[in-house]
Structure 1
Amino acid sequence: MNDPTTRAHTAPRTGRRGFLAAAGATAVGAALAVAGRDSAAARPGRAPGAAAFRVPVEDVRHTRTWMTWPDSTAIWNGGSLAGVQADIALIARTVARYEPVVMCANPASAAKARSQCGTSVTVIDSIPVDDCWTRDTGPVFRTDGTGGLDAVGLNFNGWGGKQTHAKDARVAERIAAHVGVPFTRAAFVGEGGAVEQDGAGTLMATRSSLLNRNRNPGMTQARLEGAMRDAYGASKVIWFEGVYGQDITDDHVDATSRFLAEGEALVQLPLASDDDAYAEDARRQYRALTAATTAAGRPMDVLRLQGPDYARIRSTNPDFLASYANFYLCNGALICAHFGDTRADAAAKSVLSRLYPDRRIEQLNIDRLGAGGGGIHCVTQQQPVP
């Protein structure tokens, strides 16, 4: 086992929702058929390049956080919906202590969302949703360094047609229209949780999630890289192989590896005894990052944080995501989860406190959401200050 006080992280034993939400799945690419039909702010075509806008690193100051309210018993079957809603409300209330939070809810469930989230969270019912994964369905906001703000949609297609997503396919453009900023669609299909950016030209992602025929059939890696660089205003992509077909996301990078700043990344590593596909993937990600350089040619400083022992956490759900790496940065705070392995929980909080000494570390019990294979970063989307 790695020393829990070192900078090391834990790979999730399984990824997002292990296909539990296959109900209502649609064909690959269905999102593209409905995205952007009538938004006045939508501008079809390739996103502008790095000379204009780029996606900033996530610790910049935010105008607000966007979230979405789940209400589908078809997706959240087995009686889990109420617990997931309670966890979403807890996250929203916590973030709202530090910055404004806007929750998109369907008209039929907006009253319940308002009741559970409280008056500190703004709930709107003008943007219909299918589920709660705003990191993947919401717009990727970009700034130009001179007060400009725009948004890019990644053509969400239900993680490769694995879940119903007719409403979620339009969340990105509808949020952009609500904010009143220009909106473009990227020239590839993906999700926000599939791409990490350092705000200075470097991206990282797994091939299993994006270079996958369920998102981008027939696309070469070179062409996909070009589309990603255009969308994010970047110049380099660091690729990890990832894990194919074992979870609904095909192994999103934001559960394992995160950028902290230019040239500085964090990887969640497994226990030495873990030998599943995700543990091996995390080790490969760490090795790849330690050998990588930034877009500017700088060596990467790769930090590690030991994650929890799955034998010691509260949940026994095989799809549970126990990822400290899936934290969310908001104004003045870092919001992350705890899992019941008290030693690892405390060590993770201590390390994150040292990494972000100017932020309050809020650790939450979101076990119901974690049993659905997701975390706090997965259900939030930041709107940076221009």
Structure 2
Amino acid sequence: MLRHRLTARPVPHPGPAPSRSETPMSLPRPSRRRLGAEWESHARTFMSWPALESVWEEDLRYVRKDIADLARTVAEYEYVVMMARPDQLAKAQRACGSEVEVIPLEVDDLWARDTVPVFVEEDGRVLGVDFNFNGWGAKQVHDHDARVGRNLLSRYGTPWLQAPLVAEGGSFETDGEGTLLVTESSIVNDNRNPGLSRDRIEAELKALLGVEKVIWLRGVRGEDITDAHVDSLVRFAAPGVILLDRAFPGTPADSWSRSSDEALSVLRGATDARGRAFEVIDLPQPDPDRVRGYDDDFLSTYANFYIGNDAVFVPRFGDRKADDRARGILQELFPRRDIVQVRIDTLATGGGGIHCATHDLPGRPVD
């Protein structure tokens, strides 16, 4: 995903060390910890109100409309909390409507998946793991987004862990039963974790997230700002069942289609944490010539969907045949959930999708 509108320059340190009251907790025994699957119950969904004209320029009002429409749609199924800068609070509330709670919290952009902590469960409580967001490897400056993890957890009184790694929430995909899918390009990378080997990073992820098995996919380095997050490539639909993003038939081969081919090869030869072989299901992209607003940065994958309480939210790109096919595939895999298609033309032009803009908090739904 290419968040291309902000000039790349070195990202400053995210701020001073936490005060005594903010100090992250020490790591307890990892065997008690669990990273749940997205299809499990959500207490709420977090989102972020895009703040900066310097990022979106003339498209800011249009991407805000996409985010407001998405928030209202998700709010029909579960509680939504929108983070917005205090001086933009009223505008965000008007756009999102009364069914969305808008809270004052300094943010820069809309990528809540990457800036909000990764939530794990341990001994009946939820912990937030702060992965030290650094602008996707110091490619962009996000001073406030670098502090979202600490500020959000402090607001809700949620215990937090500060990871000894740099990563983003879009880097991880789990089945909730101990299996983690990760693209090597997005985390075994000197722009996030200089000098750390894949084995060292894997050991840290197992301890932090309570997973038992990490399956590494090669990914793509340096061709988008995320270095190829896994959540636009492969997604679990159930334990042992994986949806794989595939290029539109007839599209010339490129780094992204080769990454998909490599992922398929790895998954065909792998098993999950329970020893099961994977069923891999193709999720074909739309025809680029039929997509509204398509350009070189457009994220046209259906794999960047979001599984909410009683619904799955997936893009509607404008290629009716492909949109219908994606909806049908997801409906077959999630028969008890509504498949809700959402128009995200400007958001996708900015190189992101529905999953990038949402972040689930596990727990009992808020009444």
Which residue is equivalent to 2:222?
A: 245
Alignment of 1:87-102 (within 5 A): 87-102=66-81
Deviations, residues 245-300 of structure 1 (Å, cap 9, x unaligned): 11110101101101222222111111342311111111211221121111122212
**Is 2:317–2:323's contact at 8 Å kept on the other side of the alignment?**
yes
**Is 1:335–1:376's contact at 8 Å kept on the other side of the alignment?**
yes
Question: What is the letter of the counterpart of residue 20 of structure 1?
Answer: H
**Is 2:115–2:145's contact at 8 Å kept on the other side of the alignment?**
yes
For normalisation by structure 2, the TM-score amounts to: 0.95
Match of 1:58 among 25, 28, 38: 38
Q: CA deviation at 1:24?
A: 5.9
Which residue is equivalent to 2:5?
A: 21
Using a 3 Å threshold, how does the CA distance of structure 1 residues 163 and 39 change in structure 2: closer, same or farther? farther
**2: CA distance, partners of 1:26 / 1:85:** 27
Q: Higher relative CO (CA 8 A, sep ≥ 6), structure 1 or 2?
A: 1
Match of 2:349 among 348, 371, 377: 371
* 2:125 is the counterpart of 1:151: no
Alignment of 1:227-266 (within 5 A): 227-266=204-243
Question: What is the letter of the counterpart of residue 66 of structure 1?
Answer: F
**1: CA distance, partners of 2:29 / 2:275:** 20
**Is 1:42–1:182's contact at 8 Å kept on the other side of the alignment?**
no
Q: CA deviation at 1:316?
A: 2.7
Which residue is equivalent to 2:358?
A: 380
Report the secondary structure of 1:124's partner residue. strand
- Unpaired runs of 5+ residues, structure 1, are 1-15
Match of 1:137 among 95, 111, 115: 115
Which residue is equivalent to 1:218?
A: 195
**2: CA distance, partners of 1:307 / 1:338:** 11
- Unpaired runs of 5+ residues, structure 2, are none
Which residue is equivalent to 1:70?
A: 50
**2: CA distance, partners of 1:35 / 1:136:** 21
Which 10-residue stretch deviates more, 265-274 or 36-45?
36-45
* 2:95 is the counterpart of 1:111: no
**2: CA distance, partners of 1:76 / 1:384:** 31
**Is 1:49–1:233's contact at 8 Å kept on the other side of the alignment?**
no
Using a 3 Å threshold, how does the CA distance of structure 1 residues 49 and 133 change in structure 2: closer, same or farther? farther
Deviations, residues 167-205 of structure 1 (Å, cap 9, x unaligned): 111111222222222100112100000111111111111
**Is 1:41–1:182's contact at 8 Å kept on the other side of the alignment?**
no
Using a 3 Å threshold, how does the CA distance of structure 1 residues 106 and 321 change in structure 2: closer, same or farther? same
Report the secondary structure of 1:354's partner residue. helix
Which residue is equivalent to 1:40?
A: 21
Runs of 4+ displaced beyond 6 Å: none
**2: CA distance, partners of 1:155 / 1:35:** 13
Q: CA deviation at 1:206?
A: 0.9
Provide the alpha-carbon RMSD of the alignment: 1.6
Which 10-residue stretch deviates more, 91-100 or 175-184?
175-184
**Is 2:35–2:178's contact at 8 Å kept on the other side of the alignment?**
no
**1: CA distance, partners of 2:244 / 2:217:** 12
Question: How many residue pairs were aligned?
Answer: 363
* 2:139 is the counterpart of 1:162: yes
Question: What is the letter of the counterpart of residue 314 of structure 1?
Answer: R
**Is 1:156–1:191's contact at 8 Å kept on the other side of the alignment?**
yes
**Is 1:68–1:103's contact at 8 Å kept on the other side of the alignment?**
yes
For normalisation by structure 1, the TM-score amounts to: 0.90
Q: CA deviation at 1:361?
A: 0.9
Using a 3 Å threshold, how does the CA distance of structure 1 residues 61 and 35 change in structure 2: closer, same or farther? farther
Q: CA deviation at 1:240?
A: 1.0
**Is 1:243–1:250's contact at 8 Å kept on the other side of the alignment?**
yes
**Is 2:181–2:230's contact at 8 Å kept on the other side of the alignment?**
yes
